[in-house]
Structure 1
Amino acid sequence: MKKLAIISVIILMFIGQSCNTNTGAEQENAMADKNEVDAIFPKGEKGSSDLFTGNAWATSLVENDSTYNTLIGNVYFEPGARSNWHRHPAGQILIITAGEGYHQIRGEARQTMRKGDVIECPPNVVHWHGAAPETGLQQMYIIPNTEKGIVEWLEPVTNEQYNSTR
């Protein structure tokens, strides 16, 4: 009886391995995705290279209207991607939903952001945010009081600024 149970387990293990239909290319793609993060929202549209260094993808979750005066959306930054310096007239709130990245207010030290962090970007304060070099970043953004304006985009973040902890 014990031998039959052991033989059954071995057969099930063999069947399970033989049912693995991943091709070499699929396994390579899975390895390439190791730096990707689990998304809870659609990837969206690729951000403009005038506003982002690297690849960033944005999708709107709540459109601006006169009732809520709030924009809510999601941005996925591929590893190493980041926004330009910018400011929001009424501020911005970031909720990090996956991955790891950086946030920096001009003139202050760069801060690391991780899944579960909530970042408050004060009104009219120049800042940038994006993914760490080795890991993508998924962030939900909230822009309140849009009647005051939404965003003023500034110059790109240089590689020196991105890599500096100051």
Structure 2
Amino acid sequence: MDIVRSSSISTIKGPKDWFTGDVYIDAVAAAPLPSRVSANLVHFMPGARTHWHRHPLSQTVFVTEGVGLCQRRGGPVEVIRSGDRVLFEADEEHWHGAAPDRLMVHLAINEGDDAHDVVHWLAPVTDAEYSVAPTAEHD
């Protein structure tokens, strides 16, 4: 058994080459090899979002707070809310983030492939792509 105290792990700012806007990441799970599962609690400030990206073995996102948006390449922009679970299929190009006027927090669960790759980052989601998003409805 290994207990990691929350005070021993710092929140990190999401890198500019992965995200647009202010994003903060808290590591939740990063088991040692041979495990290939990782999980992060990701906090998106209003308007913040990932770049386009894909995961070799899929990704599950569980929204814990707020209102967000997500889109798979070629599909419509979808509104996601607290309690929603989104599965992005293996190698499906997609993005996710906060609605323009709401913050969004999600738990991102990923599995690395045989080469331990978890994500492949692509181009930023442009303001034009993001602006076609539906107006987020508030519950």
Question: Shorter chain as normaliser: what TM range?
Answer: 0.7 to 0.9
Q: Higher RCO, 1 or 2 (CA under 8 Å, sep at least 6)?
A: 2
1:9-43, Cα deviation, whole Å (9 max, x unpaired): xxxxxxxxxxxxxxxxxxxxxxxxxxxxxxxxx98
- Report SS of the residue matched to 2:114: helix
Q: 2:105 aligned with 1:138, yes or no?
A: yes
Of structures 1 and 2, the larger Rg is shown by: 1
Q: Aligned pair count?
A: 125
TM-score by length of 1: 0.71
Higher share in strand: 2
Instruction: Please tell me whether the aligned partners of residues 43 and 76 of structure 1 are also in contact (alpha carbons under 8 angstroms).
Output: no
The CA distance in 2 between the partners of 1:145 and 1:51, in whole Å, is: 18
1:98-151, Cα deviation, whole Å (9 max, x unpaired): 000101001000011100000001000100000001110000010024435200
Counterpart residue type for residue 156 of structure 1: P
Report the equivalent of 1:128: 95
Report the equivalent of 2:127: 159
Report the equivalent of 2:35: 68
- Report SS of the residue matched to 1:147: coil
Counterpart residue type for residue 160 of structure 1: A
CA RMSD of aligned residues (A): 1.7
Query: Between the two proteins, what is the percent identity of the paired residues?
Result: 34
- Report SS of the residue matched to 2:62: strand
Q: 2:47 aligned with 1:83, yes or no?
A: no
The CA distance in 2 between the partners of 1:76 and 1:111, in whole Å, is: 18
The CA distance in 2 between the partners of 1:104 and 1:90, in whole Å, is: 18
Structure 1 outlier segments of 4+, above 6 Å? none
Structure 1 residue runs of 5 or longer lacking an equivalent are 1-41
Structure 2 residue runs of 5 or longer lacking an equivalent are 1-8, 135-139
TM-score by length of 2: 0.84
